[in-house]
Amino acid sequence: MRMTATIGQVTFDCQDPYALSLFWTEVTGYTEDPDDPNAPEHTENFIGPDGGHPGLLFIRVPEPKTVKNRLHLDLVPETTRDEEVERLIGLGATLVDDHRRPDGSGWVVLADPEGNEFCVERSKAERAGA
């Protein structure tokens, strides 16, 4: 019998778990657990989707982020990639690197308010139209 494991959640070490959970709530549309709501004084804050997919857990750590992530999230927007990049920058993300190409392909690297990098790819509709 082959044994496997499932991903229960993706965990972010951070200095302000509550603030980061609010940012990622706006990014993903995920929500907190109504039976265990998030609060600024909590050392852990969780948000997750419906449907059993892994959620995001934010845990307070004393040290700041100092180097590039070894793991990052790739986001596929429901709108266009460019519209999503503008929306996320408006929420507090910062531009790290722009890999958009003249033919419309490519991706954009952003960082959340604590410096965790993530990528915004083209939407499914944009890929289908290419």
- pLDDT (tens digit, 9 = 90+) per residue, 90-113? 999 999 999 999 999 999 999 999
Cα dihedral angle (15, 17, 23, 26), rounded to 10 degrees? 170
pTM: 0.92
Alpha-carbon distances of 77 from 2, 38, 80, 86, 123, rounded to whole Å: 35, 25, 6, 12, 5
* pLDDT per residue as tens digits for the range 41-56: 999 999 999 877 899 9
Q: What is the pLDDT of residue 125?
A: 94
Domains and CATH numbers, the chain: 8-64 (3.30.720), 66-130 (3.10.180.10)
* pLDDT per residue as tens digits for the range 1-15: 887 888 889 999 999
